[in-house]
């Protein structure tokens, strides 16, 4: 069984450290060589992946800087930093400062090391937010699941806005990571029943369909049901008569009656009405919104898990993924927001859904870090 000292060594010196771990060691080593560089490094302890590294960096920020001449003569400041961090990191070996010093090839490259650490923090933070979005969308125990999912998506959008200006754009800004295919929403018994009831009630009340542009065939868990919804909406928008027979004919014209669906089954489905179309449509869109949130989360996680993606590529790819959720959210807002009377002033200023920032990244961005810092 490994001792606590061995476990600490594994944390501070992993067998196969990631590049960001090496960058953290290099930066801390540079600051041990040149403590004055601390004022020029735009980092906080939270940006470090390794907890012990974060504690050492915080200690460096806390312990008064030494006189440069004296620092070249003795290691008093290094000892003070170690003593400051040690109580919160009891397993920190006294030899670790020497390890950090050896890990730094060029102290004047501290700015580049700091940029790598910030990039690693961006990757981890984006992944955490995307994972939370996926968990929220899948948590059926939440009392207001849609609202919670939208809130998490807005937080992700806010984060992307904050990060967009921190990394300069570059050629090939779109991530090249192969994205997982969009999963098909589970066609549960309840979902199938809701979709069939929508098709039947829409056939019985076609006038209502004109006001349901917020529902699309892609929102259905069944491809057949989505195609039948397209048939019904096509008839409505053409001003054609709508009833089970005309929908059956439209379905035949679009190739839906291919032998797997019989005319009798289709007629029976379209004749079993209950409730109103809007009710069933909102339930279908509710599932579609949550499913889309999960898909967006999967895409962002795939991008952040690819070590070859740059920070700007992660931000761009995440914003593009979030745009797909924003479009469904806009339709949900239209479906669930009561329409005021035409003569009401509110009609002319109808509320819009809370903005979920997505799409192109703002052009303004900080320049890349300098190649080095003069010692």
Q: What is the pLDDT of residues 6-58, one digit of tens each?
A: 445 456 677 668 899 999 999 999 999 999 999 889 999 999 999 999 999 99
Query: Can you give the CATH number for the domain in which 54 is found?
Result: 1.10.860
Contact 162, 126 (CB under 8 A): no
Does 178 map to a domain? Answer: yes
Nearest to 252 by CA among 204, 203, 244: 244
Does 114 map to a domain? Answer: no
The structure tokens 């779109």 sit at 174
Nearest to 300 by CA among 325, 317, 324: 317
3-state secondary structure (DSSP) of residue 92: coil
Same domain, 216 and 364: yes
Domain end, chosen from 79, 105, 131, is at: 105
Does 173 map to a domain? Answer: yes
Within 8 A by CB and 6+ apart from 298, the residues are: 134, 180, 183
What is the pLDDT, as a whole number, of residue 357? Answer: 55
Same domain, 19 and 159: no
Domain end, chosen from 78, 105, 132, is at: 105
Same domain, 179 and 288: yes
Q: How many CB atoms lie within 10 A of CB 217?
A: 14
What is the pLDDT, as a whole number, of residue 1? Answer: 38
Q: What is the pLDDT of residues 67-84, one digit of tens each?
A: 989 998 899 999 999 999
Using CA atoms, how far residue 223 sits from 203, 226, 230, 280, in Å, is 18, 5, 11, 17
Same domain, 10 and 43: yes
Same domain, 91 and 146: no
Same domain, 62 and 162: no
Domain end, chosen from 56, 72, 105, is at: 105
Does 368 map to a domain? Answer: yes
Round to the nearest angstrom and report the end-to-end CA distance of the chain.
Answer: 45
Sign of the dihedral through C-alpha 100, 101, 103, 105: positive
Same domain, 189 and 281: yes
What is the pLDDT, as a whole number, of residue 291? Answer: 96
Does 354 map to a domain? Answer: yes
Does 111 map to a domain? Answer: no
Residue range of the domain that includes 207: 122-375
Split into its structural domains, the chain has a count of: 2
From CA 8, how far away is CA 86, in angstroms rounded? 13
Does 249 map to a domain? Answer: yes
Same domain, 199 and 51: no
Residues of the chain predicted below pLDDT 70: 1-12, 15-16, 339-375
From CA 270, how far away is CA 201, in angstroms rounded? 8
Does 110 map to a domain? Answer: no
Kindly report the pTM of this predicted structure: 0.82
Q: What is the pLDDT of residues 237-266, one digit of tens each?
A: 999 999 999 999 999 998 888 777 889 989
Query: Is residue 367 packed enough to be buried (19+ CB in 10 Å), middle (13-18) or exposed (0-12)?
Result: exposed
């Amino acid at each position: 069984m490994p001792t606590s000292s061995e476990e600490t060594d594994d944390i501070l010196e992993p067998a196969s450290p990631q590049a960001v771990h090496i960058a953290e060691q290099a930066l801390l080593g540079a600051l041990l060589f040149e403590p004055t560089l601390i004022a020029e490094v735009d980092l906080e302890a939270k940006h470090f992946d390794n907890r012990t590294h974060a504690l050492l960096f915080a200690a460096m920020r806390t312990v008064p800087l030494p006189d440069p001449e004296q620092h070249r003569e003795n290691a008093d400041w290094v000892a003070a930093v170690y003593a400051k961090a040690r109580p919160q990191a009891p397993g920190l070996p006294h030899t670790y400062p020497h390890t950090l010093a050896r890990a730094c090839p060029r102290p004047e490259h501290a700015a580049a090391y700091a940029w790598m650490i910030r990039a690693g923090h961006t990757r981890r933070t984006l992944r955490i937010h995307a994972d939370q979005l996926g968990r929220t969308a899948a948590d059926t125990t939440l009392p207001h699941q849609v609202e919670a999912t939208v809130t998490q998506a807005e937080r992700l959008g806010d984060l992307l806005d904050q990060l967009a200006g921190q990394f300069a754009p570059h050629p090939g800004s779109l991530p090249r990571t192969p994205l997982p295919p969009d999963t098909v929403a589970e066609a549960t018994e309840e979902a199938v029943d809701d979709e069939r009831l929508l098709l039947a009630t829409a056939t019985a009340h076609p006038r209502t369909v004109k006001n349901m542009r917020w529902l699309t065939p892609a929102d259905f868990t069944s491809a057949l049901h989505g195609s039948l919804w397209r048939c019904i909406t096509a008839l409505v928008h053409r001003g054609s008569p709508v009833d089970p027979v005309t929908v059956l004919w439209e379905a035949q014209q679009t190739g839906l009656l291919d032998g797997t669906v019989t005319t009798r089954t289709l007629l029976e489905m379209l004749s079993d009405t209950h409730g109103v179309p809007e009710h069933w449509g909102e339930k279908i869109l509710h599932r579609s919104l949550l499913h889309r949130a999960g898909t967006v989360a999967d895409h962002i996680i795939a991008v952040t898990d690819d070590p070859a993606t740059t920070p700007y590529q992660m931000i761009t790819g995440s914003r593009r993924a979030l745009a797909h959720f924003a479009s469904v959210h806009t339709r949900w807002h239209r479906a669930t927001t009561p329409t005021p009377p035409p003569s009401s002033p509110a009609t002319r200023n109808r509320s819009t859904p809370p903005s979920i920032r997505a799409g192109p990244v703002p052009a303004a961005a900080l320049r890349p870090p300098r190649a080095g810092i003069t010692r």
